[in-house]
Amino acid sequence: MLYFSSELKTYHVEATDGELGKILDVYFDDKKWAVRYAVLDTRKWLPGRRVILSPTAFVHLNKEERKLEVVHDKETVRNSPEISEESFISSDIEHSLSGYYGWSRYWMGNMLWGEQEQPILPTLETAATHGLEIETQVTVPQDYGLRSEEETLGFKVHASDGGLGKVADLIFDDEYWKVQYIIVQDNDVLEGSFYAIRPEDLQSVAWFEEDMYVKGSLADFEIQKRYKTKDEIMVSL
């Protein structure tokens, strides 16, 4: 099933024994565009901590009740490696969290999630004991970067011959947890419309300059399907 990333940030996150909080941000990698982590707001019961969960831990997205159910209990999350609220997600933090929880080490393999296509815990025992030891050699050099969904919204999108619009949302699926579409709102203030662009259609992204470059000219996009609202896009997919 497909979801807007903005919609996900309205969901409550449920551990096996109670609510953890809500999602503040989503991080995806800039090579395969897979959602790698959700950053939670847990200030009600775990202040001063940055709680990060991988889709490997996600069990079910309950659209009716707007809940994201995860495989871990609250005590497991409480005892996870401590990350300050100001910390960025470094490779050391990724190794520490994946080793503690038993999550897929997506950087160790050629498939979307390392040695598999979907973010699945290796065993049920892993989720219960959260102490899986995986042989890892030294830190693997990473040829990807983790990108914040919150910071990506508003990026300027350019065709080959001019500005097309700005990033308005992302659409991901809950099977592979991959960004399937980038939603772009065009530059027409009065008659604004939306485009759905696949990450594969990007020519390049200048992350620090906040610019995306798509394949094709403005004329090419004039003949492409345009939508009046984001919801129209979701219905048509």
What digits encode the pLDDT tens for the residues 94-149?
A: 989 999 998 988 888 889 998 889 998 765 454 444 444 444 443 444 566 899 99
SS3 164: strand
User: At which of 101, 131, 147 does a domain end?
Assistant: 147
Counts of helices then strands in the chain (DSSP H, E): 7, 14
Q: Are 94 and 184 within one domain?
A: no
Most confidently modeled range among 139-143, 176-180, 190-194: 176-180
Number of domains in the chain: 2
pLDDT value, residue 206:
96
Beta bridge partners of 146: 29
Q: Are 32 and 135 within one domain?
A: yes
Listed residue (216, 48, 57) closest to 132, CA to CA: 57
pLDDT value, residue 143:
63
Q: Are 119 and 157 within one domain?
A: no
Q: Are 130 and 195 within one domain?
A: no
Dist. CA 195–CA 182, nearest whole Å: 8
pLDDT value, residue 50:
86
Give the CATH number, domain containing residue 210.
Answer: 2.30.30.240
DSSP E strands in 16-155: the ranges are 18-29, 35-41, 51-53, 58-62, 67-70, 146-148
Listed residue (130, 38, 31, 124) closest to 76, CA to CA: 130
With 0-12 / 13-18 / 19 or more C-beta atoms within 10 angstroms meaning exposed / middle / buried, residue 193 is: middle
Give the domain extent around 192: 153-236
Residue with tokens 């919801």: 231
Looking at residue 233, the DSSP 8-state letter turns out to be H
Distance of CA 139 to the CA centre of its chain: 23
**Does position 67 have pLDDT exceeding 50, yes or no?**
yes
